[in-house]
A and B are shown apart, each in its own frame.
Chain A
Amino acid sequence: MNTHLDELPSKLPERGSSQKRQIVEEMLVSFIHENGTKILGTAKLYVKKFNLAKDSNYVDTIAQDIIQETVIILLKKTEEELVKLNHIAWVNNVILNVIRNYQRKNKRLTIVSNISDFQKNIAFQDRELSEEQILDILIKKIEQQPTIDNKLFLDKILSLVGKEFEEIIKLHFYEELDGKELAAHLGVNEGTARVKLCRAKKALLTVLENHNKS
């Protein structure tokens, strides 16, 4: 008997929809057992940071609702899609989409066109924020003002940035420390070091911009 090749897949035994649903449920139950507290913590963080709760007493309730909604969305995914549960960022992305929908109900948002445009334009959107640019400004300033002691100029800039960021700026721009090395030097975890570094860069940029204007 001749069997056409195209017919082969349909002849393979297929799982019933209830069986597929059961597998999806099992995957989700296991994921929530392992990562439930983590994703609830993330949801709470997003609720706080993106001002979803007008009253801080409602943060927990809203975060729970967000996770509940996220689980409902994940339940609609297929077994193959849920392999991505291994990547917590994928789950966080679903949570953020739920939050965006939640926020849209309250106010109209300006939506960034799409991810590829965003990716392409990162450098242009925040061009002034690149480290090279910051260093360029510093060097040019020093070159433009040969009469002024370079060290004095740098000290002045750092003093304007504030003590809070002075050490981290020195470690990053002078010692070229980043990520884990920077964290080890500061005696904090990597996340905290990165948050501090980003805030320090922002402060430095503001100081340089103000200095340029004056």
Chain B
Amino acid sequence: MPEKQISQENLREDIIYLYVKAMDEGDLETASMVVELAATDTELARVIDEIDTAYQEEEGILVDSEEKRLVKDILYKSFPSAFNDSEEPKPVTVGDVVVRLLSENKVSAIDKQSVNNLINSDLLLPIMINSRTLKHLANNLGLQASERFWNNFRDAAIALVMCRSNSEAQLAARQAKTYKKEKTRNSNDNK
């Protein structure tokens, strides 16, 4: 092995020693200096990473589902846009309601056969959901189903529409907040 390489490796070993000593003694300045050196030395960075993992195990620092939630919180606070906020909630379709009813086992065996054909229906729900508009919808779809089915359909449709409206309200609030932030930033930049 060339002499230069040996001396470099010896120096690296000394630095690793200093890092462990600094971590054990709570010496932040030395540890910072070593990590700064590691940013330009791949091998040193790899070893420091291994040592940090060993210390985390020793200290009982575990990454569990709670940690993942904390990271998600940090992401959300820093980048609300990372959560696809720009994607507006889609309007509720007949297919959405049918899927929900089927998943909740709220379709009787007699209605199931005719209802199954509506799973992929993109037809939008009427703006007002009541017995008159649902009757009109049934005529348009040419669907023969029990009264019980239509009662369940109405309840599920109202629940889905309310849920989407809530999402829209949250989205609007977030967009307003982002707009205000952006405006403040721009005015500060102009100053």
Given contacts A48-B61, A68-B77, whether A194 and B32 have CB atoms under 8 Å apart is no
Chain A contact residues: helix, strand, loop or mixed = helix
Q: Are B35 and A93 in contact (CB under 8 A)?
A: yes
Q: Is the CB of B38 within 8 A of A89?
A: yes
A92 to B31 CA separation, bound complex (whole angstroms): 11
- Given A68-B77, A88-B45, A51-B26 contact (CB < 8 Å): yes
Q: Are B54 and A191 in contact (CB under 8 A)?
A: yes
Partner of A87, one of B14, B32, B45: B45
Contact residues of B: prevailing secondary structure: helix
Stretch of A4-12, A122-130, A138-146, A157-165 with 4 or more beta carbons under 8 angstroms from chain B: A122-130
Query: Which one of B30, B47, B56 contacts A41 once the chains associate, using CB atoms below 8 Å?
Result: B56
Q: In this assembly, does A111 line the interface, its C-beta being within 8 Å of a C-beta of chain B?
A: yes
Q: Which of A112-120, A148-156, A206-214 contacts B (4 or more CB under 8 A)?
A: A112-120
Does B51 lie within 8 Å of A191, measured CB to CB? yes
A19 at the interface (CB under 8 A from B): no
Partner of B24, one of A44, A96, A118, A199: A199
Closest to A68 in B: B74
List the A residue with the shortest CB-CB distance to B189.
Answer: A17
Q: What chain B residues lie within 8 Å of A72 (beta carbons)?
A: 78
> Could you say which residues of chain B place their CB within 8 Å of the CB of A29?
75, 79, 82
Q: In the bound complex, how far is the Cα of B23 from the Cα of A194, in angstroms?
A: 13
Given the contacts A48-B61, A198-B21, A126 and B14 also touching, CB distance less than 8 Å: yes
Could you say which residues of chain A place their CB within 8 Å of the CB of B10?
A: 130
**How far is A84 from B26 in the complex, measured between Cα atoms in Å?**
27
Give the distance to chain A from B88, nearest Cβ to Cβ, in Å: 19
Is residue A33 within 8 Å, beta carbon to beta carbon, of the partner chain? yes
Cβ–Cβ contact B32 & A100, under 8 A:
yes
Interface residues of B in 1-58 (CB under 8 A from A): 10-11, 13-18, 20-21, 23-24, 26, 28-33, 35-39, 42, 44-45, 47-58
| Nearest CB in chain B: distance from A135 CB, A | 13
B14 touches A89 (CB 8 A): no
**A72 and B70 alpha carbons, distance in the complex (Å):** 16
Given A41-B63, A99-B28, A195:B33 Cβ within 8 A: no
Binding site for B on A (CB under 8 A): 25, 28-29, 32-33, 36-38, 40-42, 44-46, 48-51, 60, 64, 67-68, 71-72, 75, 84, 87-90, 92-93, 96-97, 99-100, 103, 109-112, 115, 118-119, 122-123, 125-126, 129-131, 178-179, 188-192, 194-195, 198-199, 201-202
Closest 7 CB pairs of A and B: A191-B54, A36-B71, A191-B50, A198-B20, A89-B45, A89-B38, A192-B54
